[in-house]
């Protein structure tokens, strides 16, 4: 079938596919999204958005609603695990002062950038979807799984066809043709596999157990509701999922690393008794712990990037293009910046008739940003937490935070605004497009 003149096909209605669609529709480019699930995902995943990614959200109507539904945190801190809370005879000191608060603060970083916006990923995805629908230029087909991609060539009149199968019913197949195709279909990307693009990098040996827990921290400093817990084995993160209510239980996400040698299955790791042992190092308050565990999952983390983000008329964005560990909230956020750069690129190619090879500039820049910024920063964020709490103060960032060294703070914070995003219009001009 002849390609629709301008249409872009996006595979995946996750946050990145939807954000790309929203940005494209706002430049008058029609979009078809094919999503294999019957509805939007509500899985408990990302919660924090900051730096240039927050600025990218701000440039769309999604931001105001996200602000209303979410809340801002002004800082983060690094704490000791409560496992260290033992007296000389190695008895737990749970009813004492130590047991009441969420581990001693090693260092705390206030007022970073414009703060961190907290909103569960499912709610952010829903907000982007509502704005996408409002444009009237995006069709979202739920329950369609893309199984093949056929490229027709690089001439202006050519296009690309996605072969999709209806997931329910008799699995009938249909072909959808557009000018370009975006693989925003997540870490296990079918598009990436169909295009035979390998992932390079490594997977971390330990599993992370994520728990959504209602707990109260009576000694919480409201400025620092997000904590990185420093421990050589059971390191992790504690982040509120709703504004912290003093004097009441608040819903937190506690993500705790397990011993790489732990041979239990994922199902065994998330049994209530196992979760409660992990929470001993993280949840404050007298023992036995007064917490309600409302959800949990065990997962592995990776530092992986696709060898290239472009093949012909197909491009990758978000988790389909790269994966990193959750320390520092650089996953979904990096994808939002891909989406922003990619939509600008397609706007210039489709609406302003710039050469199709501008897609190489997008692909190379986003991979360079991953390799030189996202990958090392997220890796070091993780390794810093997986340290000995007694010597972590020798780390440059922790030392800089403790000593309030402004140039160190600037060196840490500035790249989240300067290095992380890609200004495609500036690059296109620079490269003579
Ligand atoms: C536990 C956890 C915590 C995290 N915390 C954070 C955080 O705090 N901050 C942060 O920035 N990031 C975080 N992340 C990462 C974040 O969740 C991902 O980066 C984000 O979901 C990527 O969005 P995406 O749209 O690229 O992919 P996805 O959200 O995976 O969406 C891909 C979509 O494509 C669909 N799809 C797949 N294959 C096909 C096909 N063949 N045909 C049609 N549709 C298909 C899927 O059904 C899915 O809807 C976390 C991740 C996890 C697992």
Q: Which of 393, 324, 356, 316 is nearest to 154 (CA)?
A: 356
pLDDT tens-place string over residues 244-288: 887 889 999 999 999 999 999 999 999 999 999 999 888 877 778
Who lines ligand 1 at CB under 6 A? 11-17, 34-37, 41, 45-48, 121, 145-146, 184-186, 190, 210, 299, 318-320, 326, 329, 331-333, 335
Distance CA 234, CA 421 (A): 32
pLDDT on residue 81:
85
Atom 8 in ligand 1: residue holding the nearest Cα: 46
Distance CA 314, CA 179 (A): 9
pLDDT tens-place string over residues 134-151: 999 999 999 999 999 999
Return all residues near 196 (Cβ < 8 A) that are at least 6 apart: none
Pick the CATH number of 8-65+120-198+307-383+414-430 from 3.40.50.1370, 2.10.240.10, 3.40.50.920, 3.50.50.60: 3.50.50.60
Ligand 1 center from residue 14 Cα (angstroms): 6
Give CATH 3.50.50.60 domain extents, the chain. 8-65+120-198+307-383+414-430
Ligand 1 center from residue 274 Cα (angstroms): 27
Give 63's Cβ-side CA count (13 Å radius).
14
Topology (CATH level 3) of domain 75-110+204-302 = D-Amino Acid Oxidase; Chain A, domain 2 (3.30.9)
> Mean of the pLDDT values across residues 5-24?
95
pLDDT over 50 at 122, yes or no: yes
> Mean of the pLDDT values across residues 317-337?
97
Give CATH 3.30.9.10 domain extents, the chain. 75-110+204-302
pLDDT over 50 at 84, yes or no: no
Instruction: Name the strand (E) or helix (H) holding 252.
Output: strand 250-257
Q: 279 near 217, Cβ under 8 Å?
A: no
pLDDT on residue 99:
46
Q: What ipTM goes with this model?
A: 0.97
pLDDT on residue 96:
42
Ligand 1 center from residue 428 Cα (angstroms): 29
């Amino acid at each position: 079938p002849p390609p629709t003149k301008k249409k872009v096909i996006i595979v995946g209605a996750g946050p990145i596919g939807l954000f790309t669609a929203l940005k494209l529709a706002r430049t008058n480019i029609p979009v078809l999204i094919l999503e294999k699930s019957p509805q939007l995902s509500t899985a408990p995943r990302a919660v924090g958005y900051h730096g240039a990614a927050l600025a990218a959200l701000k440039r769309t109507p999604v931001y105001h609603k996200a602000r209303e539904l979410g809340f801002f945190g002004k800082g983060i801190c690094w704490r000791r695990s409560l496992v260290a809370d033992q007296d000389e005879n190695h008895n737990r000191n749970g009813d004492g002062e130590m047991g009441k608060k969420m581990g001693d603060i090693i260092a705390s970083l206030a007022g970073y950038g414009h703060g961190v916006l907290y909103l569960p990923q499912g709610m952010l995805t829903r907000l982007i979807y509502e704005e996408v629908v409002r444009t009237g230029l995006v069709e979202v087909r739920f329950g369609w799984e893309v199984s093949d991609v056929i490229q027709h060539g690089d001439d202006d009149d050519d296009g690309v066809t996605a072969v999709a199968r209806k997931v329910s019913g008799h699995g009938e197949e249909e072909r959808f043709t557009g000018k370009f195709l975006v693989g925003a279909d997540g870490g296990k990307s079918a598009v990436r596999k169909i295009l035979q693009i390998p992932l390079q990098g490594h997977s971390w040996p330990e599993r992370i157990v994520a728990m959504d827990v209602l707990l109260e921290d009576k000694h919480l400093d409201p400025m620092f509701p997000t904590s990185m817990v420093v421990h050589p084995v059971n390191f992790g993160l504690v982040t509120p999922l709703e504004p912290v209510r003093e004097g009441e239980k608040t819903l937190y996400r506690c993500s705790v690393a397990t011993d790489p040698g732990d041979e239990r299955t994922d199902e065994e790791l998330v049994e209530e008794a196992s979760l409660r042992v992990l929470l001993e190092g993280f949840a404050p308050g007298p023992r036995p712990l007064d917490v309600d565990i409302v959800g949990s999952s065990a997962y592995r983390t990776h530092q992986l990037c696709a060898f290239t983000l472009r093949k012909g008329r197909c491009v990758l964005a978000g988790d389909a293009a790269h994966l990193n560990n959750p320390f520092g909230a650089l996953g979904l956020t990096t994808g939002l910046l891909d989406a922003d750069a990619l939509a600008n690129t397609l706007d210039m190619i489709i609406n302003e008739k710039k050469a199709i090879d501008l897609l190489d500039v997008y692909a190379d820049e986003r991979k360079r940003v991953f390799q030189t910024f996202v990958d090392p920063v997220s890796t070091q964020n993780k390794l810093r937490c997986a340290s000995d709490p007694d010597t972590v103060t020798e780390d440059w960032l922790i030392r800089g935070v403790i000593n309030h060294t402004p140039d160190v703070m600037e060196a840490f914070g500035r790249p989240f605004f300067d290095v992380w995003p890609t200004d495609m219009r500036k690059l296109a001009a620079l490269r003579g497009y």
